[in-house]
Structures are given as structure tokens and as C-alpha cells.
Amino acid sequence: MTATVPAYAPLPSATLPSATLPSATVRFRISGMDCADCALSVERVVAALPGVDSARVNFGAAMLTVVPGGGVAVPEAEIAATVARAGYHAVAEAVGQNTAQAPALSWWQDRRVQFVLVAATLWLTGIVLSSAGFESPFVTALFAGAIALGGWPFARAGWQSARARRLDMNVLMTVSAIGAALLGEWGEGAAVVVLFALGGVLQARTLERTRGAIRGLMSLSPATASLMNLDGNETQVPVAALAVGDVIRVRPGERIAADGVVIEGVSVVDQSPITGESIPADKAPGDDCFAGTVNGPGALLVRVSREAADSTLARVIHLVEEAQGSKAPAQQTVDRFAAVYTPVVIAGAALLAMGGAFVTGDPRTWIYRALTLLVIACPCALVISTPVSIVSAIGTASRRGILIKGGAALEAAGSAKVVAIDKTGTLTIGRPEVVTIELLPGGAPDTRTLLATAAAVEALSEHPLARAVALRACEEGIAVPAAARFLAMPGKGASAQVNGRETVVGSMRLARELELAGTEARPSALARQMTRLAEEGSTPLFVAVAGENGGTLQPLGVIAVADRLRPHAADAVRRMREAGIAHVAVLTGDTRTTGEAIARAVGADSVRSELLPEDKAAAVRDLRERYGPVVMIGDGVNDAPALATADVGIAMGAAGTDVVLETADIALMGDDLNGIAAALLLSRRTRGVIEQNIGLSLVTKLLALVLAAFGLVNLWIAVAADMGTSLAVTLNGMRLALVNRRQRSQASDLP
């Protein structure tokens, strides 16, 4: 007797390879980093630890990745302690972990805030007493206490940087504060420390908000899943413990815990956290589902197809983190400028102090001015102007199901002038459907008879157009007669014996070969009908039946099959133009008439038809020569050559598709064309914000340098200007999150 295996029995183990880091690698979430210099400081001190092969800090994602030498793990506590000595807080997480990131500390729990508040209280108390005429050692002690408490965190970080022979903002501010104190300017020194520390805290807290997109993505995955046992009972297990082949139960309203395939149950699932699509997707046995999506009213049994560390959600999180840490060309230029700017200003400060003292005999005044220049030498606002915008833009785009693969892709998309769109599967749904059934005089008595006759032949064919005809007959509940002696004519059509008579279903080409189309000067009624339908953008198929004794073929009618346009395709093209695109071209392998009909329907400027994959790549090159930088939009598979040739390749429908996620510059997890317009608009806005930030930073620095050289600003004003500019560019970068919200609101208004 054979035992019956329940549907929820796990399949034999067949673990899929996971694109994760080496097993000994460890990652840490870092809090307290408010500048790129902070990230470099952490990177240097950790890389110097014995047994560490490499350490890399992703400033955008606030993530430290440590790879030990020889595959031997370095104690996490030792790494965390080293980071703490540098002035930051590190929390380890397992590689591939798919749990929510620890929320940021509240204001009152943040030790930096506590230090700053106490230091500010001491400084303000000293200012009040000093203003009232109380000049005493007690007032000096208040200022000294403010310097010690407020300056300790960045002085410690500055010491680490100095040991690594790196002059960052922590070193410069520490020297400025100590110099002011040595000159007897205790109040000025305290002002430098308090304002710098306060600006750093505000900037760090603001940056935490820009990194909130990662926290939002990670919180989508539930911590546990309901694992079905062989006896039919359930066990709550950690999501990380699920293996490929396990079966989990998903109750109504629950988040799906793992990528998998539905094996039992019917429901609708909100996939917007992954795909960005607002309309829930129907789910039935055989349908794929993704971790982090929300089940609707029905209960489902899902067989796990990917482990937690390799789920679509986990891969999206990893890609977003990597993208946020990448450098745009503008950022690379700024970094090169800052690498020269800071040493030059420091050298200028030294020359100013020595030269001024030598010429005037007043070293105190000129040393003070030199200290002011040291403050201005910090390129904080300039260095952070680009990454904060990139982090904000990529993070907010990810919430809408748009994956932007780094700053370079974001910047390139923002400068694009032309968009090339593949027709099949991009502008259209990618699934042929019967759109029109028309009879001919003396032909079939009604459309159901015509459809039944055609379906009898097409049911034996594997061609997509044939399947569309057979499916339409099935949907209408039409009884399809049996067919025999089937013959496929590739590129033309097919024939078979139906009810004892030869029946042919085919294209205009076959109609001409069978002399059913008349002549070019005098086309038959069939030819005129098929030509009209082709000009409307469909593919017409004639249906003809031979006489009872094998006589001449008699046309019965025409069935038009078309790949329907996606909803809002024309609206998406209009929005692309609003985003600054000057030319929209449609690329297709279909006929000229079909391509032109689609181009007219969506409002495109040009169309290239009858293209092979390599022809599409050539078309992209030609468009670039004519109009400028090109964005190519396709499905990521058949359009791979064109996507690779374009300045930016955008692939649609990437959810669950490894190749697309890894190769496209920008990937839309869903199939909403409006996401493309949103990505282009966000890219252009990001480019504008970056230019604003860089311009503001440079103007502020140059103005401060001139004023400081002539003694027109003091230390605390220089600090206030520097940190104020840094905070301004950070907040300006965060405006990109508002762009995303407006776009989401506009999308929800679509019919």
C-alpha cells in the first residue's frame, strides 16, 4: 500500500545558491556617522585590526562590512569596541539577515545629544554670566566644561584620524577649539565646540531619516512563519530557518514570510511593497508570491522557493544598500576637489598666521584668523552635498518599487534626452488577445461559428497567435470540433481537416499565395479588410474553408489578434516629456504598420520596426548620435543588447527575475509604465538638487574664506556658517522624498 504524501510535505532538499557574502564576513549597522570623513575614519581603524583582511563602510546605508583574513572570524565585540573608540555605535547583524533594522535611538537616548545638551547649558550659562559682567574663574570653568563635554566625541574621532595621518573635520575642529582656549578665548572655543557638536547631531539625525528607506524595507518581512508539519499541524519557526521545499500557511491579512509558489487556496495579495503596483494581484495554485507582501481575504499554502537570505526582498535590500553607497560622477569630482581644497586652505592658514605675525608683530590676531580659516577648511557641506541627495533619492524610489542601481545611473538618467521603448511586453502587455472578429459576405453565419472553425485548427498549434484564438473560444464556452491532418506553415499560418473539409487560418502573406487577396490594383474584400485591421495595429488572420469536394477555398471572415497596450501607456509617455525627454522612439520586431499604430496610440515621435535584438542596439546608437543620451526601456531579456548599449537601461517587471535585478541600471519591480516617468523625473530633480547643494557649498566657503582672511568673521560665526550649510544641503537633499510622495499621489489619481 502506497502512503499518501500530503500537499504540504516538504520537497527533497535542493537549496538554491545564495548570493550572499562569505560565511566569516560580518556586517555592522553604524549609528552616529554624519559625514563621509566619519565613514573613512571607521574604515581605517577597523581595517587596522589584526586578522581583518578588509573593511568597507557604506556611508549611504550606514553599514560596515568586515572580511577577515584567512576566513577566520574576528570577534564581533572587538570590532564593535574599536568602532566605539572612534566615537560611533556598531551593532552586528548576520549576513543575509532579513529582519528589521534596529530603530534609531530617540533623542533622549542618544548619548551625543546628552553631551551636547549639557555642553550647551554650560556655554549659555557662561555667556549670560559674562554678559552680566561676571568675569571669574567660574565662568572660565563653565566654558572649559562645555569644551570638554561637547568636544570629547569629535576630539576622540580626531585623534584616531590624526593617528591615521588623515586631516578630517574632527581634527580641524579640535585644533581650532584648543587654539582658541590657548589664546584665552574660552567663550569662542566653547562656541566652536557647541555649535559644531549641535550641527553634527542635527545632521546625523537628519541622515538617519534619509536611511529610513532601508528600515522600511527590512520591516516588511515577518520574523516568524507558520510551518506545516507532515501531520498537518503548524509550528511557528523563525523565517531564517525555512528551507526550500517547506510549506507555510499564510492566513488572511498576514505578510507572506518567504518567496514561494501557491499550492493551495485562492486570495488576492497586495504586492505594492515589492512591485509598487497599487492593484492587488490574484493568487491561485501555481502563482508566485514574494516575501513581505500582504495576503488578502483567503488562506494560502505556499511552498518555499527561496531561503530568506536569497528572497526577492533580501536582494532588493542588498541592491538598495549598495546603490546608496555608490558614488555618482559629481560626487567623485567633489571628492577630488575636497582632497586638494583642505590641504591648500590649511597651508594658507599657516602662511597667514606666520606672515601676518611677522609683518605686524601681532601673532595673537593672526593666529586667531588662521584658526578661523581652519574651521572654514572643513569641506563638510561640499562632501555631503551629493551623497545625501543620492541616498534620499534611491531610498524613496525603492518604496515605489523602483530600484536605481547607484548614483551614476541616477545622474545619467537625469541628463537623458531621448527614450527608446521596446513595444512587446513594455508598451504592451506581452500577451496576444483576440480583439476583433469580422465576417465576410457569403462567409460564416455568425462570429461563434467562425471562432469555432478557427479554434479547431489553432488548438493544434503552439504559436502565440494560435493560442490566443483557442483561448478566446474556450473563454466563450464554444464547442470546438475535432481537427485532423494538421499542417503548420511557419510564418504564414496552418491548415487542418475540420468536419471533413480543408480549413486554413493564416496571414496576408498566405492569403496572397492562395490567391485570396486579389491583385494590388484590385484587392479582394478579404485583402481590404485585413489591410484595415493591420493599419489599426492588430495582426489579422483569415479563416477559409474548401468546398465539400475539395474545391476552391472560400473566406469566411477575419480574426484580428493584438497585443494590447498597457493601461496608461500614453499617459506615461506624456509624463516622460514632462520629465524633460525631447524624443520618444518605439522599437519593435513587428511590422511597420503595427509599430506605427502603437506609436500613434502612445504619442511617440518615431518608430523603428522589424528589428532583431542586435538591430535594436544599433537603433539606440543612432538615436544617441541624433538626439543625445539615451534611456532604453525593455523587459531585460530579449532587449539585453539594447539595454547594455544605452546610457541607462531600464527593465520592467523585475520582481523575482535575478538577471534583470543584476544587470539593469534601473529596475521596475512591477509593470506600471508610470514608474518609468517617475524614475526619470526623480533623476532630473536629483541632479538639480545636487547642483544646488554644490553651488551653495562653494559660494558659502569662498565667501567665508575672504571674510576670514580680513578678520571680518570670528570662530563661532565660521562654525555656524559651516554647520548651517551642511544642515541646509542635507535638508535640501531630503526634499527628494517629497517628490516621491507627490508622484505616488498623482499615480493614485489615475483611472
pLDDT at 102 over 50: no
Q: How far apart are CA 286 and CA 290, in angstroms?
A: 13
DSSP label at 487?
A: E
pLDDT value of position 750: 34
pLDDT value of position 210: 57
pLDDT value of position 5: 46
pLDDT value of position 2: 44
Q: pLDDT per residue over 367-405, tens digit each?
A: 888 888 777 767 777 777 777 788 788 878 887 888 887
Per-residue pLDDT band at 557 (split at 50, 70, 90): very high
Q: What percent of the chain has pLDDT over 90?
A: 18
Per-residue pLDDT band at 458 (split at 50, 70, 90): very high
CB 494 within 8 A of CB 461: yes
Angle (CA) 172 177 183, round 5°:
125
Q: What nine digits make up the cell of 568? A: 496608461
Ranges 115-119, 242-246, 436-440, 612-616: which has the least confidence: 612-616
Phi–psi pair at 555, nearest 5 degrees = -65, 135
Residues 6+ apart with CB under 8 A from 380: 35, 37, 169, 722, 723, 725, 726
Q: pLDDT per residue over 270-319, tens digit each?
A: 886 676 565 678 888 998 888 888 898 889 999 999 888 888 788 777 76
Q: Which residue has the higher pLDDT, 540 or 160?
A: 540
What residues are annotated to the active site?
422
Residues 6+ apart with CB under 8 A from 362: 356
Per-residue pLDDT band at 715 (split at 50, 70, 90): confident
pLDDT value of position 71: 57
pLDDT at 13 over 50: no
CATH superfamily of 400-428+567-682: HAD superfamily/HAD-like (3.40.50.1000)
Ranges 18-22, 484-488, 580-584: which has the least confidence: 18-22
Phi–psi pair at 748, nearest 5 degrees = -70, -15
Taking residues 93-102, report their average pLDDT: 48
pLDDT at 531 over 70: yes
DSSP string over 328-339: -HHHHHHHHHHH
pLDDT value of position 420: 94
Taking residues 425-445, report their average pLDDT: 87
Identify the helix (H) or strand (E) that includes residue 383. helix 380-384
Q: Roughly how many angstroms between the first and final C-alpha of the chain, as a whole number? A: 58
pLDDT value of position 518: 83
Q: What percent of the chain has pLDDT over 70?
A: 83
Sheet containing 630-634: which strands, arranged edge to edge? Answer: 402-404, 666-668, 648-651, 630-634, 418-422, 583-587, 606-608
pLDDT at 21 over 50: no
Q: pLDDT per residue over 158-196, tens digit each?
A: 787 777 677 777 777 788 788 878 878 888 788 878 877
**Which of 371, 370, 382 is CA-nearest to residue 340?**
382
pLDDT at 639 over 80: no
E-assigned strands of 328-427? 402-404, 418-422
Does the pTM exceed 0.85? no
**Which of 315, 405, 424 is CA-nearest to residue 658?**
315
**Which of 525, 529, 530 is CA-nearest to residue 540?**
530
Query: For the chain, how big is the Rg over CA atoms in Å?
Result: 34
pLDDT value of position 485: 92
Please state which CATH class domain 222-310 belongs to.
mainly beta
pLDDT value of position 19: 40
pLDDT at 16 over 60: no
pLDDT at 660 over 60: no
pLDDT value of position 674: 85
Q: Which ranges in 443-507 belong to alpha helices (H)? A: 447-458, 464-475
Q: How far apart are CA 109 and CA 482, in angstroms?
A: 77
Ranges 289-303, 402-416, 565-579: which has the least confidence: 402-416
DSSP string over 66-126: EEEGGGPPPPHHHHHHHHHHTT-EEEEE-TT--SPPPPPPPGGG-HHHHHHHHHHHHHHHH
pLDDT at 356 over 50: yes
pLDDT value of position 94: 54
Fold observed for domain 429-564: Calcium-transporting ATPase, cytoplasmic domain N (3.40.1110)
pLDDT value of position 451: 94
Taking residues 43-48, report their average pLDDT: 84
Mean residue pLDDT across the chain = 80
pLDDT value of position 58: 75
- 3-class secondary structure, 497: strand
Report domain extents, the chain.
222-310, 400-428+567-682, 429-564
pLDDT at 206 over 80: no
pLDDT at 594 over 90: no
pLDDT value of position 739: 54
pLDDT value of position 167: 72
Q: pLDDT per residue over 63-74, tens digit each?
A: 888 888 765 667
